[in-house]
Amino acid sequence: MSLRNLILLLLMVIAVHQVVSITFTSRLLHRFSKDMKAFRVSGSTTGVRASWPEKGSMEYYQELVSGDFQRQKMKLGSRFQWLFPSEGSKTIELGNDFGWLHYTWIDIGTPSVSFLVALDAGSDLLWVPCDCIQCAPLSASYYGSLDKDLNEYRPSKSSTSKHISCSHNLCDSGQSCQSPKQSCPYVIDYTTENTSSSGLLIQDVLHLSSGCENSSNCTIQAPVILGCGMKQSGGYLSGVAPDGLFGLGLGEISVLSSLAKEGLVPNSFSLCFNEDGSGRIFFGDEGPASQQMTSFVPLDEKYEAYIVGVEACCIGNSCLKQTSFKALIDSGTSFTYLPEEAYENIVMEFDKRLNVTSTVSFKGYPWKYCYKISTDAMPKVPSVTLLFPLNNSFVVHDPVFPIYGDQGLAGFCFSILPADGDIGILGQNYMTGYRMVFDRDNLKLGWSRANCQDLSNDKEMPIAPAKETPPNPLPANEQQSAPGGHAVAPAIAGRAPSKPSAAAPCIIPSSFYSIRLPHLILLVLCLVSTCV
């Protein structure tokens, strides 16, 4: 090979190297380097983060370790398929004394203390009566359906409790604090008139179970933020949630958000209610593959609550015009409410299709369309179907409440009420017989007919619901005569959810390895010597 050819070959290799270097190499920056800080400032519309850790400081290494843990969780996925309260996944409806909501027992703190909390998908915060200034009675003798006293939480008695300071990112009331180190106060006003809870935010452990057979690894102590409810008002003093409220909403402060962020379970949960007042709750449950689904819709471009868009309603096989609306899916509301126009169209069609001539009113019951019957046999009642996009439908097979008198079954009412505004509420009564899945990651609602058995023993809930004659499910007293009464529990109270944030821009090294120039020259020289 001539010298000229060798020089041309060397020049060609160098040129190829330059192309490869330009195409496939990239600059690698440490996340806390000066260059990265400048990059974050130049690419941000709000400026750089509030603090930038000094290299070698404790904060510097804490943030690096925290980032490693988060990436590890992303690689490994959730530790458990589902979790539930350590006292069991069962929920129960306790009648008029407790507002006709579903409750479950939870354990908080060290040593653990048990609380009977109402399940509310319409708000975010878990709160319990705590260091009480104004709380509901906690004695079992005050309520007709309890066999033990309810408890009051005392943070000073729990070795794992600590106050949340006003500087915490989840402290909404921080601007009203006199000092960043002050304990964070909270005040939540609920939809039911004059109903509220206020106190201080506390971090403590919530005791959960995975339902596994190895008891030593079955119990999980999950750190969560809860409200030390020092002062309650309205319905919370008259029987609704006397021992606390478990907010299951989309807000970042909710227990569900904490469990998902810690990588314990998928960011989803399910509620399942039977006609006999029993039920189940599972954290992390994503539902069966066969379930029907519809997407949650935003309000004012924010996903603040579990809102769905109903395209139309059907009574029996008759689908009605002008019955589209948005509805909140809320276990914390006892009954179902529809916007005025949809309500009028639906109740009139129901009344027309029902083969019962007499419409009556039953004292103490809030419904407009009630019917008296002369026998103990319930007449055939048409179903109510809510239609969603993509041909998904939610069927309420038994949309009435039976009314019992001294002589047995006296009549029934069409159990829908008119809503005050343009947002309806699909309440607890119309969730009965369904496994309702709140998929918070994908912002979807799933539902499937179910018998609400324990998922820890049977991964698939039976699809055929239990069919038993329910007891009289409503109180016959004046507290039920209006939406603001005892039975209509809090809905939509709480924080706007934090939107899924885009990943912070980072510079990723190329997956291609670039050969350095000196190595190329040596390679060419080797080839030359071989050729010569």
Spatial separation of the C-alpha atoms in residues 410 and 433, rounded to whole Å: 24
Residue 220, amino acid: I
Helix (H, G, I), strand (E, B) or coil at 99: coil
Q: Is 120 a catalytic residue?
A: yes
Alpha carbons 449 and 464: distance in angstroms, whole number: 6
3-state SS class at 353: helix
CB 303 within 8 A of CB 443: yes
Q: Which helix (DSSP H) or strand (DSSP E) does residue 518 occupy?
A: helix 517-531
φ, ψ (nearest 5 deg) of residue 467: -120, 95
CA–CA dist 447, 429 (Å, integer)? 15
Query: Which pairing describes strands 312-315 and 307-310: parallel, antiparallel, or unpaired?
Result: unpaired
Q: What is the distance of C-alpha 167 from the center of its chain?
A: 25
Q: CB under 8 Å to 342, separation ≥6 — which residues?
A: 313, 322, 323, 324, 325, 424
Q: Are 487 and 99 in contact (CB under 8 A)?
A: yes
CB-based contacts of 416, cutoff 8 Å, min separation 6:
335, 336, 337, 338, 343, 346, 347, 367, 384, 399
Q: 305 is written with which tokens? A: 């609550």
8 Å CB contact between 152 and 130? yes
- Exactly one of 243, 330, 398, 439 is catalytic; name it: 330
For residue 447, give Cα distances in angstroms to 290, 323, 382, 395. Answer: 9, 21, 21, 10
Residues 6+ apart with CB under 8 A from 257: 250, 251, 267, 440
Q: Is 35 exposed, middle or buried (0-12, 13-18, 19+ CB in 10 A)?
A: exposed
* Whole-number Å distance between alpha carbons of 103 and 113: 16
Structure tokens at 440: 């918070």
In Å, how far are 237, 326, 437, 529 from 227, measured between CA atoms?
17, 30, 26, 79
Please confirm, yes or no, whether 330 is among the known catalytic residues.
Answer: yes
Do 166 and 177 meet the contact criterion of CB atoms below 8 Å apart? Answer: yes
Which residue out of 120, 204, 243, 398 is catalytically annotated? 120
Q: Which residue has the tokens 């006199």?
A: 178
DSSP run (H or E) holding 519 = helix 517-531
Residues with catalytic roles: 120, 330
